Structure 1
């Protein structure tokens, strides 16, 4: 007789799967919108409030301080009280904090509120990917997590649109942009009511009746796609901590990848609108360039979603990281408008495809009892890099220029690719 988890693993893709993916994805997109908005608000407030480059850097970094704390705490709480509870609570926290940021009258107040925004965001992201990974049919698990991550591009595109047409549209445009952050607070209620709790989590807490009901709901849901395939046997991985001998090598590799990818991604994309403005482009024009570059994220996710079940997790992640390294180098050498846009689009394509593969591979590396902690701790460690990256941009620019800055980002992507090759390949294998 199959266990509940095996029954979930062997299901086709049903309407129930589509519903949970859509509900989680909208929350993911709202997260991305909030993170993306700060890059446009930084550029606007540097002019309106006369911020120095150091002050602007701290405005970009303080949210990531909150994200580092939130990612670590969120993963631990997800293993203690459940994935769904943490998912909804974090949406509520960052939605309220973002809305309140619209009323900030000073840089200090805005930075305090941005910390709480980051706290909610950091806890939500690894928890959502864990939830989707635990519900997805085994044969398309990686693809479904990449599709979830693709909602990030939707949110970042929304941020670019808001930045271009609202932030740059009026003196108080940045306030109206932040006021839209109240939307996640309302959406948290939808999540709480519509997203089921993880079956694996319920079983680990002895709530077998609740787990059985959820599995029955998925089994009775109408089929959308028949993706079933024969199971791939493997011995279960057991560990009581993320540094246990059976998993510590993959923990170290995952932490390294998260660190280097966060460093390059946030160092580049948080600063791109401001860098373009500093190169002499108007605020509207620099925001428009950023919008075009952001659109390239969608095909990057699509390619990663296709390849991750063809090439496997490790090959897809490493390939997109190598592409990111090359693209970052090209961006640093770009001077003409077409070169900036072309290199920026390539960087968006490869970097966001790598993010999709990274979120897919993380939850598969750990057993149920430490899965939230494993993904959350890696995200938390990575956020240290996202704090550092915006802060180093001004001094590196002064010393080595844009070429030197993006050479550093390219090197970090290369280091992440090397770490990716050390991870185990878990394509089509059952979660332990």
Structure 2
């Protein structure tokens, strides 16, 4: 590197210096740790939907009570998203990730030991707080610490690793839950693995350089950037670097109300809320709906288990295209496929068709989720990225809360065919709104998006 180039690098912000790096072994390590953390969080998030038929039969729960427990985790996720995002802006990404991981591990153990419906409901609320606080920080961390041209792919890898939780949960439920009274408790107990993930993250993950810079800790951020450049330089040439420095500014919720961030917050919060309503309105009720249609419980769990492989397939498909097509276009395509699949699922009773369509819907829903989780942190600046993504995620979880109760009422009053028709139409609406009104982010630096 010549003297002039060295001077330009020295003027650049730590975030810009990371943006120009090739993929290194350190990036790979980070994404594996974050992916495993997301796996445990998602396991806790989806586990009740697979255990619901067993717990319902053992405790004699009504459909309404199943709906309440399904909604409980989203109540907690609302507070976890909003509070966790703001705490990560205030205290750093890493401390909140570690604290949330320990917290949801403890509440998973509480779910495993729950003696009745009331304690299980409370434990699911608390689990939701920890799960969403940790997940929100993971997506913000990836947007801030991974190179611009590959951050979409890295998030797809994270979702892929986390998506393994879906078939893992379903097959664990299929193998363990029917084996005897109270056996379902062992499935909940798996969540304590979060303690191990927190320990690895404490040692192996640095703080976000963009957060450090925004909070006046530029020297520490530069040290991390220099260390990453040294690792990357051994693998080849480094790219060019933008010289415009990042501002040092600690944000507040009030900053979210300034344009254009207010518009982005309202747009993505409302669209993501409707999407979450439809996503969990479909996935959380598949085993219960199939059993009520007359399918044997083990057969219904088998269909749900096979469908869960769509969760793993989607990130693999997105890995090839996530940084090549516009983020909002990816959302549109995915929700259109999901919507059509939901409508077909509600109209058929053939096991083979139900299974194939369920795989397609799950794949499309996770593709849309991955695109949303990549997209949302990108549209806010560093000083309010945690708060912005947290508020959007928190508002979206209101859709999850509503889903557990409203979908139960819709299902009881209208039947499954009408339910899935409505959910499919809602998916179409989400895609159109995001595609028409959302900002463009793919292939652009976070600072460029913030200035737009």
Question: Normalization by structure 2: what TM-score?
Answer: 0.91
Match of 1:61 among 71, 91, 95: 71
State the partner residue of 1:3: 13
- Residue 330 of structure 2 corresponds to 316
The superposition leaves residues 312-364 of structure 1 with CA deviations (integer Å, 9 ceiling, x where unpaired) of 21211111111111111111112110111111011011110001111111111
Alignment match, 2:52: 42
In structure 2, the residue matched to 1:430 is 445
How do 1:244-263 residues align onto structure 2 when only pairs under 5 Å count?
A: 244-263=258-277
Output aligned runs, 1:117-156, within 5 Å: 117-156=127-166
Deviation string for 1:358-379 (max 9, x for gaps)?
A: 1111111011001011111100
The aligned runs of 1:51-90 (5 Å cut-off) are: 51-90=61-100
Report the Cα distance in structure 2 between the residues aligned to 1:316 and 1:216, rounded to whole angstroms: 34
1:28 to 38, 59, 65: 38
Aligned counterparts of 2:50 and 2:195: Cα–Cα separation in 1:
22
Residue 209 (structure 1) shift: 2.4
Q: CA shift at 1:89, angstroms?
A: 0.7
Q: 1:187 to 1:256 in 2, by over 3 A?
A: same
Unaligned runs of 5+ in 2: 1-7, 448-452
- How many corresponding residue pairs? 432
Distance 1:225 1:43 in 2: 52
1:186 Cα deviation from its structure 2 partner: 3.0
Partner Cα separation in structure 1 for residue 240 and residue 114 of structure 2: 56
Q: CA deviation at 1:305?
A: 2.5
Q: How does 1:23-422 map to 2 (within 5 A)?
A: 23-221=33-231, 241-421=255-435, 422=437
Q: Which of 1 and 2 has greater Rg? A: 2
3-state SS of the aligned residue for 2:308? helix
In 2: Cα distance, 1:111 partner to 1:123 partner: 19
CA contact (8 A) 1:139 1:228 kept: no
Question: Structure 1 pair 257/227, CA: closer, same or farther in 2 (3 Å)?
Answer: farther
CA contact under 8 A between 1:334 and 1:343: conserved in structure 2? no
Return the TM-score normalized by structure 1. Answer: 0.95
Deviations 1:87-134 (A, max 9, x none): 111111111111121111111111111111111012111111000111
Gaps of 5+ in 1: none
Q: CA deviation at 1:384?
A: 0.4
Report the 3-state secondary structure (helix = DSSP H, G, I; strand = E; otherwise coil) of the residue aligned with 1:335. Answer: coil
RMSD between superposed Cα atoms in Å: 2.2
Listed one character per residue, the Cα deviations across residues 257-312 of structure 1 (whole Å, up to 9, x for unaligned) are: 21011101111111111112212222221111111001022221222232222222
Distance 1:257 1:327 in 2: 19
- Shift in alpha-carbon separation, 1:272–1:225, aligned structure 2, 3 A: farther
